[in-house]
Chain A
Amino acid sequence: MVTDWSYWAVQTLNGLQLSMLLFLLSVGLTVIFGLLHFVNLAHGALYGLGAYIGISAAAATGSYWAGFAAAPIVVALTGMLLYLGLMKRMRQAGPMNQVLVTLGLIFVFVDVFRLIWGDLAIGTAAPAIFSGRSDVFGVVYPTYRLFIIALGAIVMAALALVLSRTQLGAMIRAGVDNDQMAACLGVNVERIFFIVFCVGCALAGLAGAVAVPVFSAHPDMGTEILISTLIVVVVGGMGSLRGAVAGSFLVGFAQTFGAVLVPEVASLLIYALLAGVLVFRPTGLFPARA
C-alpha cells in the first residue's frame, strides 16, 4: 500500500485540503497581526461561529449555499461589532492585553455556542453537486474536498491579485510596512485597518462554513484549530500573504504526512516546527517587515 502511488496522491490531496483551510483562517489573522499589530486569539472562535451559522442557515433554508453565503456576512458583522466595541480601544494596549481580552472572548464565545447550539457535535451535508466522489488522475477522492482545495486556491489567487495589483492592495502593503508614513502620505490607515479586519473575519467565517461537512461543528472547534492557525502565522511571518501561503502548506503537509510517516511523533511535529522557526528565525520565514 505504501509503495502505491495513488496512496500518496490521496495523502497529498489531504494535505492540500488542510493547507487551504488553514490558509483561509490564517490569512486574515496574519494581515490583522501585520497591519494592526493586533493579536486576535478570538479568530478561532469566529471560525466556530461561521460553522454554526452555516449549519443554522442551511437547516433553515434547506440549502448548503445559504450557509455558505450567510456565514461570512454574519461573522464579518460580528467582527465589526467586536472591533468597534472592544478591539479598537485595545489597539495601543500592547500584545499582552490583547491576548488576554481576546482570550476572554474565546471563553464567552464557547459558552455562547453551548447555549445556542448545545454541547454535541452537529454537522450538515455537503451540497448535492459536490456530494459524490471524483476521479483525479486515476485516484478516487471526495468531490467536496476537491471543492475546498479549489476554493482555497481561488481565494489565494484573488488576494494575491488584490494585494499586488490594486490601489487598495498597495495601501495595505504600505500600511503593513510603515503605518505612520502611509498615514502621512494621505492613506486613511484607520479605514484600511477596518476593511482588512472585516475581510479577515469574513474569511474565517467562510472557512468555518466550508469545514462543517468534513469536520462537523462542536463548541471547542475554534479553540482547537486556533493553535494550528497561530503556528501558520508565526512560522510564515506576520503580515505577509507569502508567509501565510508558505506557513499553511508547511503546517498542513507536516500534519498530514507526519501522521502517515512518523505517527509516533506526528502531533509533536508542528510544535517542533514552530519552536525551530522561532529559535532560528525569530520573525518567521517571510515577515512583511524585514
Chain B
Amino acid sequence: MFRQSLLKTIVILALLGGGVVYTFFTGYFGKELVIEAATLAILAISLDMVAGYGGMISLCHGAIFGIGAYTFAALTVLFGVHPLLAFAAAIVATALFGAVVGAITSRTHGIFFIMATLAFGQMAYVTIFESRTLGGDDGLAGVPRLDLSAIGIDLMNSTNFALFAIAALALVYVIAAFVLRSGFGRTLVGIHVNEARMKAVGLTVWHYKAAAFGISGALAGLGGAIAAQQTMFVSPELLVWMVSGTVLMVVIFGGIGTLVGPAVGAVVWVFLKHEISSITVHWHMIAGAVLIITIVAGGRGLYGQIEYMIENRRAKQKQPDETNVSPLAQERETHA
C-alpha cells in the first residue's frame, strides 16, 4: 500500500530542489540533461503506478510516451493546432490508449500480460513507422514549444524550459501520490495482492485496471509531449519496445513500488549514462550489468533498498514495546 512517508517527502523534495538549483548553475548541456531526466522520471513514475502498485508490468509505456509526443507534434506541425490545445489532446489521447489497452489486457496475467502490452506498443510503433502522413521513418521536425508568454515565461529559454519540466515532474508525482492514496489506489493494490478476493467482494476488476492504465497513460503522455517540445522533433524510435524495456529498467534500478524510487532512478540513470558515455561507448553493457546485479541483489533498487533498511531498523526499535503486549493479543496477531 502507498503511504507518503516522511522519507518519500524528503527525497522527492530534495530531488526537485536539487534539480532547480542545478539548472541555475549549469550550462546549456546540463539543462538538457535536467529536462531529459525530468521527462524520464515522469515516464518512470507513471509506469511504477501500474507496475509497482497495480502489478501490471507494462512493456508499452515507451509507446504511450511516444504517442503523447506524436499527438502533440502532429497536431501542431501538420494541423497548426494551438500548442496548449495540442498538449491537452496529447494527454487525452494517451489516456484513451492506456485505458483501451488496460481494458483489453485485463484478463491476462504474468508473462501473457507483458506480451499483450508488448503487442499493443509494437502496433503503435509500426503504425507510426509506416504512416507517410506522420513522416514515417524520418519523423516530424519543427515541433513548437508551449507559448506561456501570457504569464511572462519564454519556454524557448532553456533555463525556463528545464524549470517547466521540473514543475511538470512535481505535478505528476503529486497526482500519482494522490491517486494511490485514494480509495481507488488502495483497491488497485488490493487487486494486485489478491484479484480473486477483490472479485469475490463484488468489484468489477477490469474497470479499475482500465482506469489505472488510463491515468498512468495520461501521465506518460504528458511526459512525451514535453519530450517532443524539448528536442522539437519526434521519430518512431521513441516508441520501439526497447524504450519500454529501458524504462522498466529505470524503475527497477530506482526501486519498483516506491514511487519516489523511479524518479531517483531516472535522474541517476540519465547522469550516469552521460558520464559513462564520455568514457566508453559500451554504456548498454554496463546498464545491463547494473540491472542484473540489482535484480540478483534482491530487486529493491537504489531507493527501495534504503527505504527497506530504514523501515527495518524502525521495526527492530519498536520490537521491545511489542513484547509488552499481552500474549493473547500477540497470538491473535500471528494467526491473523
Q: Which residues of A contact B (CB under 8 A)?
A: 33, 39, 86, 89-90, 93, 95-97, 99-101, 103-108, 110-112, 114-115, 223, 227, 230-231, 234, 264, 267-268, 271-272, 274-275, 278-279, 282-283
Q: A227-B118, A268-B126, A271-B123 are in contact. Are A107 and B104 (CB under 8 A)?
A: no
Contact indicator per residue, chain B 289-300, by CB within 8 Å of chain A (1) or not (0): 111100110010
The reply to whether the CB of B24 lies closer than 8 angstroms to some CB of chain A is no
Residue contact B282 to A89, C-beta cutoff 8 Å: no
State whether A108 touches B114 (Cβ < 8 A). no
Given contacts A234-B112, A278-B112, contact A93 B288 (CB under 8 A): no
Q: How far is the CB of B261 from chain A (nearest CB, A)?
A: 15
A101 engages B126 (CB within 8 Å): no
* Alpha-carbon distance between A271 and B122 when the two chains are bound, in angstroms: 7
29 A-B pairs whose Cβ atoms sit less than 8 Å apart in the complex: A39-B114, A90-B296, A96-B114, A100-B248, A100-B252, A100-B291, A100-B295, A101-B291, A103-B249, A103-B288, A104-B291, A107-B291, A111-B284, A111-B288, A115-B285, A227-B118, A227-B122, A231-B115, A268-B123, A268-B127, A271-B120, A271-B122, A271-B126, A272-B123, A274-B119, A275-B123, A278-B119, A282-B108, A283-B112
B245 at the interface (CB under 8 A from A): yes
Cβ of A179 to closest chain B Cβ, rounded Å: 17
**Chain A, residue nearest B284 (CB):** A107
Chain B residues closer than 8 Å to A110, beta-carbon distance = 284
* A230-B115 contact, Cβ under 8 Å, with A97-B299, A279-B104: yes
Q: Which of B107, B118, B119, B127 has the most CB of A within 10 A?
A: B119
Asked whether, in the complex, the Cβ of A108 is within 8 Å of the Cβ of B116, the reply is no
| Nearest CB on B from A46, distance (A) | 15
**Chain B: minimal CB distance from A33 (Å):** 8
B289 near A108: Cβ-Cβ < 8 Å: yes
Contact between A111 and B285, CB atoms less than 8 A apart:
yes
Residues of A within 8 Å of B320, CB to CB, are none
Can you add 6 more A-B contacts, CB < 8 Å, to A95-B114, A223-B242? A104-B291, A110-B284, A230-B115, A268-B123, A275-B119, A282-B108
Which B-chain residue is minimally distant from A283 (CB atoms)?
B112
A271 / chain B contacts, CB cutoff of 8 Å = 119-120, 122-123, 126
Known: A114-B282, A268-B126, A271-B123. A104 touches B115 (CB 8 A): no
Of B116, B241, B284, the contact of A227 (CB 8 Å cutoff): B241
Determine if B292 and A104 form an interchain contact, defined as CB atoms under 8 angstroms apart: yes
* Chain A residues within an 8 Å CB radius of B252: 100
Residues of chain A within 8 A (CB-CB) of B116 are: 274-275, 278-279
- Judging by beta carbons under 8 Å apart, are B114 and A275 in contact? no
B123 lies within 8 A of A104 (CB) = no
Q: Which residue of A lies closest to B108 (CB)?
A: A282
List A contacts of B285 (CB < 8 A): 107-108, 111-112, 115
Quick check: B107 and A282 within 8 Å, CB to CB? yes
CA distance in complex: A283, B112 (Å): 8
Known: A108-B288, A115-B282. A101 touches B296 (CB 8 A): yes
Query: In whole Å, how far is B146's beta carbon from the nearest beta carbon of chain A?
Result: 33
